Structure 1
Amino acid sequence: MTAAENTTPAHSLEIERKYDVDDDTRVPDWSALPGVARVGEPEPRDLDARYFDTADAALAQALTALRRRTGGPDAGWHIKRSTPEGKLETQWPLEAGIERVPAGRVDAGDAADIAPLPPAAVIAALTEITAGPFAVVARIRNARTAYALYDTDGGVLAEFVDDRVTATDLRRRVETTWREWELELGPAAPTAATARAVLFAAADTLVERAGGHVSASGSKLARALGG
């Protein structure tokens, strides 16, 4: 089966906390987090994503993001929907093909806007929100360092990532850079809401002691677009 023929998506629920930190903030000792027995080796990832929306920002209004990201273990097409429990992500593999420019681009001379159009299976999954057409609204490049946080049984309790972000709002032609951390629960994380709250509270304390704080922005895309 070719990549173009593989239209069966994968689904996951992301439950995470984002933190704003300065460029020189030192990473906490995550082995101090309750339940963490060992911190994995740092794993560098070079991520590059183009985010799509309609001219009237239909996806943003529906608290939904559509992106095509390369690099890292989950490269592909992603639809991310915000829910009370977390971010519900649907993912398809990267599609081979000639890069084309989505309708609605502002400047046909800017290579940063160029990306393959969303494949039919992805567009079909968004029809309850909009039928498009879609254009690239932002590009987000991220130099990420990831650390797996293991419990005593060797399960992944959470993943911590240290992100250095360069984001371009292609509507306003504005580039911004920042550093942020994310702590995402893993398969071995507690399932009870109260236990998860305790875990995140402990993480908040570790981050605050290091000099960071819980992020005021819900996503990198929102921050890139000025939200």
Structure 2
Amino acid sequence: MHSQIEIERKYDVDDTAVPPRLIGAGAVALESEPSTDELVALYVDTADLALAQQKVAVRIRRGGSDEGWHVKLPGDEGRIELHWPLGEGDEPPAELLETLRERVGDAHLQPIARVTNRRITTILQDAAGFAVAELCDDHVEAENLRSGGTSSWREWEVELLGGAPDTRQARTALLDEIERRLLDVGAEVSASSSKLARTLGL
């Protein structure tokens, strides 16, 4: 298992939106060529959504560079993401279940949502070539496995990477500048905190 701090912002956009150039936003000096991944995530929770009520998400995701099991926990700045590699089948690793024991006891985890995402990612780099953030253009198809309902939408997601500024103030300033450019081309700050919350209507 490894962990990281996930600091991101999400924006709703329509099908006609074109991502702006972000060079010059804070330390951003270079943009990579966009790359496309097909991501399929299955989310699990207890029958009464005990984890979702505690703002915790658990998923197994296939596709992309970080496929595997993910647990997302509330944090002081952003969220804490724990990651385990894929195993056999769709059963969560024992270590993952143990990290959730205080939150759910012995309650069984069951599938609650499936999210399929065609993600187009552009890496934003500083002048030295360090990746400071990524802009993800997500085309989402989601299924609420509890109700049987389906939904689809498009969103942009900006997430800080390892080369991001080393102070909270500077990180916020970078995200604010990127946000200004996204809003200028018609993006709107997302009303949902996550794809899972939007899928479940939370």
| TM-score (norm. length: structure 2) | 0.97
Which residue of the partner structure matches residue 20 of structure 2? 28
> What code does the residue aligned with 1:26 have?
V
Deviation at 1:200, TM superposition (A): 1.5
Cα distance in 2 between the residues matched to 1:161 and 1:70 = 17
Q: Please state whether the residue corresponding to 1:129 is helix, strand or coil.
A: helix
Which residue of the partner structure matches residue 100 of structure 2? 126
> How many residues end up aligned between the 2 structures?
201
Q: Please state whether the residue corresponding to 1:148 is helix, strand or coil.
A: strand
Deviation at 1:64, TM superposition (A): 0.5
> What code does the residue aligned with 1:134 have?
L
Cα distance in 1 between the residues matched to 2:74 and 2:150 = 25
Cα distance in 1 between the residues matched to 2:74 and 2:114 = 20
The residue correspondences of 1:119-198 to structure 2 (distance < 5 A) are 119-130=93-104, 131-198=106-173
Cα distance in 1 between the residues matched to 2:184 and 2:170 = 22
Cα distance in 2 between the residues matched to 1:192 and 1:68 = 32
Which residue of the partner structure matches residue 208 of structure 1? 183
Deviation at 1:128, TM superposition (A): 1.3
Alignment deviations for residues 132-158 of structure 1 (CA, whole Å, 9 cap, x no partner): 201100000000001110101110010
The residue correspondences of 1:17-56 to structure 2 (distance < 5 A) are 17-56=9-48
Cα distance in 2 between the residues matched to 1:191 and 1:177 = 36
Cα distance in 2 between the residues matched to 1:83 and 1:222 = 17
Q: Please state whether the residue corresponding to 2:95 is helix, strand or coil.
A: helix
Deviation at 1:121, TM superposition (A): 1.7
Q: Please state whether the residue corresponding to 1:33 is helix, strand or coil.
A: coil
Deviation at 1:119, TM superposition (A): 2.4
Alignment deviations for residues 161-194 of structure 1 (CA, whole Å, 9 cap, x no partner): 0000000001110000000011111111112121
Cα distance in 1 between the residues matched to 2:158 and 2:107 = 33
Query: Structure 1 unaligned runs (5+)?
Result: 1-8, 98-115
Cα distance in 2 between the residues matched to 1:196 and 1:77 = 27
Query: Structure 2 unaligned runs (5+)?
Result: none
Deviation at 1:34, TM superposition (A): 1.7
Deviation at 1:82, TM superposition (A): 1.8
Deviation at 1:84, TM superposition (A): 2.6
TM superposition outliers: structure 1 runs of 4+ over 3 Å? none
Cα distance in 1 between the residues matched to 2:173 and 2:73 = 25
**What is the aligned-residue RMSD (CA, Å)?**
1.0
Q: Please state whether the residue corresponding to 1:203 is helix, strand or coil.
A: helix
Cα distance in 2 between the residues matched to 1:92 and 1:175 = 28
Alignment deviations for residues 75-106 of structure 1 (CA, whole Å, 9 cap, x no partner): 00010012231110000000024xxxxxxxxx
Cα distance in 2 between the residues matched to 1:226 and 1:88 = 23
Q: Is the 1:204–1:213 Cα contact (8 Å) retained in structure 2?
A: no
Q: Please state whether the residue corresponding to 1:34 is helix, strand or coil.
A: coil
Matched, 1:86 2:78: yes
| TM-score (norm. length: structure 1) | 0.86
Of 25-34 and 165-174, the range deviating more from structure 2: 25-34
Q: Please state whether the residue corresponding to 1:142 is helix, strand or coil.
A: strand
